[in-house]
Structure 1
Amino acid sequence: MNLINKERLDAVTAAAQASERLRMNYNYHEDLEAPAQRLLNALEPGTLLPIHRHHHSAETYILLRGKMDVVYYNDQKEETERVTLDPLQGNYGVHIPIGQWHTLEVLESGSVLFEIKEGPYTPLAEGDILE
């Protein structure tokens, strides 16, 4: 059984804290070709996530614990919207449409998202990162 519980969140958080990138995934999909990518994504303050977009899939984030901002941008790299996810305040998640420029700013150590997007996994292309 792949139970999502405190022990699982603690383990993926410990791996993120030990990682140079300050983040770590725990995948529930069998491989990168799976038609649905489902994963825990543990992120620590200071992790660097470029402003990016996905042309092949929308994304849904559900914050299981912690606190973070989801930030939307336009093509001119101007911030257009910001929302704070914080389950203790009743803001649990967000759905990011296909092609929407976005990033995350992690505000609290131990933050873990459950992330869902269509597969297969597609690395970000050069034009999908807003420099």
Structure 2
Amino acid sequence: MEINKQLLETLFAEATENPCLNQNFDLCTSSADMSQRMLNALLPGTKVSIHRHEDTTETVICLCGKLDEVIYEEVILYENGMSGFPHGMDVQDVSRKVEYREIQRIHLCPAEARYGCQIPKGAWHTVEVIEPSVIFEAKDGAYKS
């Protein structure tokens, strides 16, 4: 298989038809693969929830386009067992309240010689798409849905 302009154009066309404004292309060759490898076409407006991979780093290489990988730290505002709940809130009402504070923004754009990054294991992160982009993503371990 060749990763070429035609494949990327196909992925962009499929992303345009997807309400999520992205399209994945799995590069694993069998269900027995012990790594995750994919291409991901992302259009501006793509929403990727802040998430983390507790057991693996994630490698991201930008093949074309422009985007920011954004890294966060989790800030625990309160959780069951902690004092200091807001007035009128009962401990039974919430188990945990957190927010995420941006700590790093990694700009990726191959035209600017900014090709990729490695997201540390367990780091909270998301992506903000500036212009239509295709990234290669790789993570350790078999995919778990």
TM-score for both structures, normalised by structure 1: 0.88
User: After superposition, what is the alpha-carbon deviation per residue over 1:23-76, rounded to whole angstroms, capped at 9, x for unaligned?
Assistant: 111111034552011111001111110111001211100000000001010012
- What is the aligned residue count? 121
Match of 1:120 in 2: 142
Q: Provide the aligned C-alpha RMSD in A.
A: 1.1
Any unmatched runs of 5+ in structure 1? 124-131
Larger strand fraction of residues: 2
Partners of 1:85 and 1:26 in 2: CA distance: 20
For residue 78 of structure 1, give the secondary structure of its aligned residue in structure 2.
Answer: strand
Match of 2:114 in 1: 91
Closer, same or farther: CA 9–32 of 1 in aligned 2, 3 Å: same
Match of 1:126 in 2: none
Question: Are 1:86 and 1:92, in contact at CA under 8 Å, matched by a contact in 2?
Answer: yes
Any unmatched runs of 5+ in structure 2? 76-99
TM-score for both structures, normalised by structure 2: 0.80
* Identical pairs, percent: 43
Structure 1 segments of 4+ aligned residues over 4 angstroms from their partners: none
Match of 2:18 in 1: 19
Q: Are 2:64 and 1:41 equivalent residues in the alignment? A: no
Higher RCO by CA contacts (8 Å cutoff, separation 6 or greater): 2
